[in-house]
């Protein structure tokens, strides 16, 4: 009887973790990608792996990709204002594709009901280059569709690693060189004062990122996509910037320019409340703190985010207890 009770406890633990994942919308996690053992890190404009950037979306007009974006919640997509500079562009002409790396497949496609650009966006300087898209229907989260976390406050002095991804131009000399598969490149945030020397028009709402002397960069069609970073102590990914502009694509020594997301947290909260679909950032931060504390503790049956570290021991324990129970 004792072994049966313990075995039932383990089964309940496994089932509870599964149900918790499906019922929640934890930000910045990659359940499908992180569940693999021995995954590779291919850099230099290589294809992203399935589930590696589950918050990444393709914004399309008449089934043609023209900008990127990221999932903030089941209702909201974050992108840049300059993608919608044309006043002729109607929300009804837009669709947002989520949950896929390959744009030739038939993933979840959602309609847009409203385009909200920052009222102080300036096309000549690209200052305040940020926008929100309100979806007509809410997203359904799964292993390949996950919201990104807002940047940590205060901003950490450094990040463990940062990445950008997109379906944009892969050859700066050929604007037609769009890729239908999601591509990724590593990034490092560069010193703001050093970047100011290269870009005198840089504002405090912008940050610069590159990867040393490598020709890694975002380009046309990548605009609006997220610059995401993580910390060694936390398994989550946070959006730090939004791909905005640059002097060239992939030119060595010339970083890309990104909108600093941390400067617009209050704006996002205000807009989402006005539109009747408030984004509860306080609960997101509480969830992040709980996750961090949980990762620092030893658990007999940890969360489903890292199946490779707990599922096998749990199953082996259950099998052993089942055998002992039958033996008695």
* Rounded Cα distance, 188 and 216, in Å: 10
DSSP 60-119: EETTEEEEEEEE-SSSEEEE-GGGG--TT--GGGEEEEES-SBTTS--EEEEEEEEEE-T
Catalytic residue among 58, 70, 73, 82: 82
Catalytic residue among 118, 127, 129, 222: 129
Contact 324, 3 (CB under 8 A): yes
Q: Is 129 one of the catalytic residues?
A: yes
* Rounded Cα distance, 276 and 260, in Å: 25
Under 8 Å CB-to-CB from 119, ≥6 apart: which residues? none
Structure tokens at 286: 């509480």
DSSP 132-170: EEEESS----BTTB-PPBPPPSSPPS--SEEEEEESSEE
Structure tokens at 76: 């909201």
Catalytic residue among 223, 234, 244, 287: 223
- Catalytic sites, residue numbers: 82, 129, 223
């Amino acid at each position: 009887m004792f072994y049966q009770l313990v075995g039932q406890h383990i089964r309940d633990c496994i089932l509870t973790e599964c149900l918790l994942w499906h019922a929640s919308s934890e930000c910045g996690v990659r359940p499908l990608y992180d569940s693999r053992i021995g995954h590779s890190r291919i850099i230099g404009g290589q294809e992203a792996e399935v589930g590696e950037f589950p918050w990444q979306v393709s914004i399309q007009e008449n089934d043609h990709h023209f900008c990127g974006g990221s999932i903030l919640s089941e209702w909201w997509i974050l992108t840049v204002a300059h993608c919608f500079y044309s006043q002729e562009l109607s929300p009804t002409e837009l669709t947002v594709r989520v949950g896929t790396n390959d744009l030739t497949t038939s993933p979840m496609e959602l309609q847009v009901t409203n385009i909200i650009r920052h009222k102080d966006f300036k096309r000549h300087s690209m200052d305040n280059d940020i926008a929100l898209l309100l979806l007509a229907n809410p997203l359904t989260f799964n292993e390949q569709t996950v919201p990104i976390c807002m940047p940590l406050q205060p901003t950490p002095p450094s990040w463990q690693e940062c990445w950008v991804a997109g379906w944009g131009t892969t050859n700066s000399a050929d604007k037609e060189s769009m890729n239908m598969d999601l591509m990724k490149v590593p990034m490092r945030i560069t010193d703001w004062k050093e970047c100011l020397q290269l870009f005198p028009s840089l504002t405090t709402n912008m940050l610069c990122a590159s990867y040393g002397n490598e020709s890694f960069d975002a380009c046309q069609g990548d605009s609006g996509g997220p610059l995401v970073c993580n910390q060694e102590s936390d398994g989550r990914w946070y959006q730090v910037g939004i791909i905005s502009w640059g002097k060239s694509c992939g030119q060595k020594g010339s970083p890309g320019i990104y909108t600093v997301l941390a400067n617009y947290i209050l704006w996002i909260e205000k807009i989402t409340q006005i539109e009747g679909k408030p984004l509860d950032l306080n609960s997101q931060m509480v969830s992040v703190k709980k996750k961090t504390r949980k990762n620092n503790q030893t658990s007999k049956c940890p969360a489903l985010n890292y199946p490779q570290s707990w599922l096998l021991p749990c199953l082996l324990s259950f099998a052993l207890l089942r055998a002992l129970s039958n033996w008695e």
